[in-house]
Amino acid sequence: LGATETKEFQAETKKLLDIVANSLYTDKEVFLREIVSNASDALEKRRYAEVTGSAEEGAGEMAISITTDSEAGTLTITDSGIGMSRDDLVANLGTIASSGSKRFVQQLADTAGDGASAASANVIGQFGVGFYSVFMVADHVTVYSRQHGAEAGHCWRSSGDGAYELSEASNVAAGTKIVLTLKEEEKRFASRWAVEANLRKYSSFVGFPVSVDGERANTIEALWTKAKSEVSDEEHAEFFRFIAQDFSDPRYTLHFAADAPLAIKALFYIPESHPEKWGMARMEPGVSLYSRRVLIQPRSDKLLPDWMRFVKGVVDSEDVPLNISRESMQDSALMRKLSSVLSRRVLKFLQERGDERAKKDEEGYLAFFREFGQFIKEGVCADFELKSEAAKLLRFESTAAEPDTLVSLDEYIARMVPEQEDTIYYLVEVLLLTSTIDEFAMANLMSYAGKELVSAEKAKLQVEPDAETPAISAEDAGALCTWLAEAVPLVSEASLSSRLVDSPAIVVGHESAAMRRMMGMVEAGRA
Ligand code: ADP
Ligand code: MG
């Protein structure tokens, strides 16, 4: 074997290493995610090379295995991926390869002269620093690597302090083996339990088998990467129960892929029920972001609007960099684009479920709406961008509809009489708003399909007087009103109205119906 050669890290890399190793980086556990994701990338590259014929079929399983030795404080991560040649080791581990690290160093160059200031250390958490993140926890790192079909393997070794050693090595299996010797104070990361917990959190759906001390750690497949027709209902149910920590089957499943404007693979589920109706705490967002099966943001609040928090699932977009940063303008724009595509897709899906013309399981949709309508109404109230699309999902009771069925605003419009012109009335004999939030939702929506939404309770409906029926005199009317207010116990005031057509009188409240119900709830609470 050749002699060991000592090489200096590229100047920028040194700077980066210094900051990584010395900063108070709060999420040190992410080093494993970075290493496992590199292993997964290496396996993807091998698969690609074999599929495209640029490499021979390598021997052995495509897998990642992790072994722990908590006594020695070592952690070994082995993959049978593409492997690295000597030049690759120099180029990939000796210089800054990852886009996150590059951006980080760029940021340092932009903000500070010498870079390694305390302020710089604080921003490190916003960047994924790839391979170098191992130096947050490792005293030194040894990398053994060999490409499939290559004669010689190599060993790369560094303590992250400015230089690394490189030598040829024998008995190196094809692929890459990384041995982390943990710092004394970070040995907790070498326990099998810690590794398993870490994998569950960040790498459950890596698309290759991952084992810890010989036992398979990831049982769940990356279902969203499969073709829609290849996933069974039972697999969906299992996956849904896993990610939503639910016990039932999903009510709706939306599995889709897109290439434009972004490459997206997504699996969305809508559960049977939700905890908020029991007065439990507000739910967290339910969709996690992956990039090529590596978890980027668990339960991300950037993927769907908050009112869609009842949607559970995963989104995988290879257009999203692993080290996506909240601070970067470019990344924020990308996330907004992604969010717009996803939320519109969810809306379209639900609109289709509820599309009575297509008669697609209308009963099922009504059951969905009865369970989740409050979220839709929240969207109508709060989501400036999507409120009119969300309004298409609304359903209401109506006197014109059969009891126990609900109508959409579109159905209502289809049945409107010409006298109504451009106004959708809500109250009795029109749309019945029965839950407290309804009225707020309607007031926020203000109009639908170009028609004004008006509470019939509040409306000053003008009905043309009937010339053939003689009106009573103003004097008689006034006397009648006074008498009514005195003689009828619950009436506090009586007045003349021009809105009645077939009835001589109507009883109205001085607050809105929703207000009365709220007061009723308060009263009931006191009793
Ligand atoms: P990134 O993954 O963003 O490219 P990293 O710092 O995580 O950046 O890794 C740097 C480079 O090192 C990778 O791009 C890859 O070429 C190489 N590399 C790291 N780990 C492995 C591995 N297990 N097998 C093969 N190549 C690897
Ligand atoms: Mg990486």
Tens-digit pLDDT profile for residues 141-156: 999 999 998 999 999 9
Cα separation, 417 vs 466, in Å, equals 19
Would you say 387 and 444 are in contact if contact means Cβ atoms under 8 Å apart?
yes
What residues does ligand 1 touch, defined as CB less than 6 Å away?
Answer: 34, 38-39, 41-42, 79, 81-82, 84, 92-93, 97-99, 130-131, 176
The strand pairing partners of 8, in sequence order, are: 163
The verdict on whether residue 58 carries a ligand-binding annotation is no
Closest atom, ligand 1, to C-alpha of 96 = 6
Of residues 436 and 493, the one with the higher pLDDT is: 493
Ligand 1, atom 15, residue with closest C-alpha: 92
The strand pairing partners of 425, in sequence order, are: 454
The verdict on whether residue 129 carries a ligand-binding annotation is yes
Q: Which amino acid is at 359?
A: K
Q: What is the ipTM of this complex?
A: 0.99
The verdict on whether residue 68 carries a ligand-binding annotation is no
Would you say 80 and 174 are in contact if contact means Cβ atoms under 8 Å apart?
yes
pLDDT value of residue 5: 93
Cα separation, 264 vs 286, in Å, equals 17
Cα separation, 238 vs 273, in Å, equals 17
Q: Which amino acid is at 294?
A: V
User: 25 C-alpha vs ligand 2 centroid, how far in Å?
Assistant: 18
pLDDT value of residue 122: 47
Ligand 1, atom 23, residue with closest C-alpha: 39
Q: Which amino acid is at 119?
A: A
Cα separation, 89 vs 166, in Å, equals 9
User: Is beta strand 423-426 parallel, antiparallel or unpaired with respect to 451-455?
Assistant: parallel
pLDDT value of residue 316: 94
pLDDT tens, residue by residue, 353-365: 988 656 666 788 9
User: Which numbered ligand comes closest to the C-alpha of 104?
Assistant: 1
Cα separation, 62 vs 79, in Å, equals 8
**DSSP classification of residue 356:** T
- Residue 245 in tokens: 């920590």
Q: How many residues in total does the chain contain?
A: 527
Cα separation, 4 vs 144, in Å, equals 14
Would you say 368 and 293 are in contact if contact means Cβ atoms under 8 Å apart?
no
Q: Is the peptide bond before 261 cis (omega within 30 degrees of 0)?
A: yes
Neighbours of 477 (CB within 10 A): 14
pLDDT tens, residue by residue, 295-340: 778 889 999 999 999 999 999 998 987 667 767 778 889 999 999 9
Neighbours of 74 (CB within 10 A): 17
pLDDT tens, residue by residue, 497-510: 766 666 777 776 65
Cα separation, 310 vs 268, in Å, equals 10
pLDDT value of residue 166: 96
Rg for the chain, CA atoms, rounded:
32
Ligand 1, atom 18, residue with closest C-alpha: 38
User: 294 C-alpha vs ligand 2 centroid, how far in Å?
Assistant: 10
Would you say 179 and 13 are in contact if contact means Cβ atoms under 8 Å apart?
no
The strand pairing partners of 65, in sequence order, are: 78, 211
Of residues 16 and 70, the one with the higher pLDDT is: 70
Q: Per DSSP, which regions of 294-422 are E strands?
A: 294-297, 312-316, 397-398
CA dist 22 → 85, 160, 410 (Å): 30, 11, 62
Closest atom, ligand 1, to C-alpha of 82 = 25
pLDDT value of residue 469: 65
pLDDT tens, residue by residue, 79-130: 999 999 999 999 888 877 666 667 667 666 666 554 444 444 444 544 556 7
Cα separation, 500 vs 465, in Å, equals 10
Q: Is the pLDDT assigned to residue 475 strictly greater than 90?
A: no
Cα separation, 356 vs 401, in Å, equals 14
Task: Give ion ligand 2 contacts, CB < 5 A.
Answer: 38, 130
Regarding pTM above 0.90, the answer is no
The pick from 12, 31, 40, 41 for probing ligand 1's pocket by mutation, whose C-beta has the most ligand atoms within 8 angstroms, reads 41
- Which strands make up the sheet holding 74-79, listed edge to edge? 5-8, 163-169, 153-158, 138-146, 175-182, 74-79, 64-69, 210-212, 215-216
Note every long-range contact of 85-89, with CB atoms under 8 Å and residues 24 or more positions apart, other chains counting: 85/147, 85/150, 85/154, 86/152, 86/154, 86/166, 86/168, 88/145, 88/147, 89/143, 89/145, 89/154, 89/156, 89/166
